[in-house]
Amino acid sequence: MSADLVVAVDTPDDIVTARQAGRDLAVDLGFSMTDVTMIATAISEVARNITSYAGTGSIALSLEKKDGRKALVVRASDNGPGIADITRALEDGYSTGGGLGLGLPGARRLMDHLEVTSGPGQGTLIELWKWLAFDA
């Protein structure tokens, strides 16, 4: 069921490319325009974190079965410095890079599920899910 589309994220322009790829896939899967916008915005947030903190990484998009339901799955991965305190990184207003601290908490609110796998010196994998309301 997985048809991965991977977008390399190496420059700020790649954020736009990843966002558009997610938007296009969400439209193709029949998401509402509200959900399409939320998915695209969440992708922008996690892609921006890649360029801001890790320098380079990727955004992978796929349709998968998760917890018995179909979901659009977004995986943002990098080999950057990692996140020392994931719980703190998910708090509104917390930022180690001088930003507003809305990226991960905002992405979590926009999507149905968010998981972060990371540690100091281990890079980061962020997985986001948006449930399909129907079988695609």
pLDDT tens figures, 61-113: 999 999 899 999 999 999 999 988 888 888 866 555 544 445 788 899 999 99
Instruction: Using alpha carbons only, give the angle 107, 110, 112 rounded to the nearest 5 degrees.
Output: 100
Domains and CATH numbers, the chain: 5-131 (3.30.565.10)
pLDDT tens figures, 26-65: 999 999 999 999 999 999 999 999 998 899 999 999 999 9
Closest by alpha carbon to 120, among 93, 89, 76, 91? 89
